[in-house]
Amino acid sequence: MACDRKLLGDELIVCTDCLSTIPLTEHAILDQNGIDLLFHDLIHKESRTIRYERGAAFAFYNRERGQNFRLMIERGKFGAHPNPQIFYFLGRLAAQAYIDSDLFDDIDYLVPVPLHPRRLRERGYNQAEYICRGMSEVLHIPMDTEHLLRTRNNPHQSRSQFHKRSENVKNIFSVSYPEEWKNKHILLVDDVITSGSTMFACMRQLSPIRGCRVSAFTLGWAHK
Ligand SMILES: [Zn+2]
């Protein structure tokens, strides 16, 4: 999926060389990591009612480090042959990498950040859902795709400032039957975090639910 070399023996989807070049964040061994700092900052500025527990990214996602890791994710979504299996594979790998940390302690549901139905139709799958499937198999924590819903498509936003991005995505999510998430601990899962605005918009929707806590996990962190 990254270097185009033919896979050998028991290699699956990604070759051993490319696996060894994934620029791991080692968030599991840090008390407070960059994802925590990102969300603590957003919560402090925007919405202090969010009950955020913890977060982590599996690897760095940028041009300078781990070019092949970026390719895995980009080709998985946009390549000539988009392949959801890469996300399942990376979800398993990431869960295994963090299984001994406390990141997944007392999580009730793995919840993929939903794609808008239109994009879901175009791509044919939600990559975050495949990440959750892989994680769920390793962690034995159920995935929930029923409650958190996307209500409208957001405009392409990669060039705008955080505040504008934040306004763009503020109300695009909703939670159906929120009482079923009362006192639950939700792990939001996505493929890549950049500004955090999309995941933060999900967190906003969870904050009115009594006793509902939220954590965040992503494969890639687009950190400068
Ligand atoms: Zn390779």
Looking at residue 91, its pLDDT comes to 98
Ion ligand 1 residues within 5 Å by Cβ: 2-3, 15, 18
Looking at residue 128, its pLDDT comes to 98
More confident residue, 129 or 82: 129
- Domain 27-154+161-221 adopts which CATH fold? Rossmann fold (3.40.50)
Is residue 205 within 8 Å of 174, Cβ to Cβ? yes
CA–centroid distance, residue 3 to ligand 1 (Å): 4
CA–centroid distance, residue 135 to ligand 1 (Å): 22
CA–centroid distance, residue 203 to ligand 1 (Å): 36
CA–centroid distance, residue 6 to ligand 1 (Å): 8
Looking at residue 210, its pLDDT comes to 97
CA–centroid distance, residue 26 to ligand 1 (Å): 22
pLDDT at 155 over 60: no
Say whether pTM exceeds 0.85: yes
Is residue 221 within 8 Å of 35, Cβ to Cβ? yes
| Domain ranges across the chain | 27-154+161-221
Return the closest-CA partner of residue 220 out of 88, 1, 12, 56: 56
Residues of the chain with pLDDT > 70: what percent? 92
CA–centroid distance, residue 69 to ligand 1 (Å): 10
pLDDT at 161 over 70: no
CA–centroid distance, residue 81 to ligand 1 (Å): 17
Mean pLDDT of the chain: 90
CA–centroid distance, residue 76 to ligand 1 (Å): 14
Looking at residue 144, its pLDDT comes to 98
Is residue 1 within 8 Å of 87, Cβ to Cβ? no
Looking at residue 29, its pLDDT comes to 79
CA–centroid distance, residue 211 to ligand 1 (Å): 44
Instruction: Report pLDDT digits (tens) over 20-34.
Output: 999 999 888 787 899
Q: Which two tokens stand for residue 27?
A: 């968030």
Q: Could you give the CA distance from residue 136 to residue 91 in angstroms, rounded to a whole number?
A: 8
Instruction: Report pLDDT digits (tens) over 49-67.
Output: 999 999 999 999 987 888 8
Greatest alpha-carbon pair distance for the chain in Å reads 51
Query: What phi, psi does 25 have (nearest 5°)?
Result: -85, -25
Euclidean distance between the first and the last CA atom of the chain, given in angstroms as a whole number: 24
CA–centroid distance, residue 88 to ligand 1 (Å): 17
171: confidence class by pLDDT, cuts 50, 70, 90: confident
Looking at residue 39, its pLDDT comes to 97
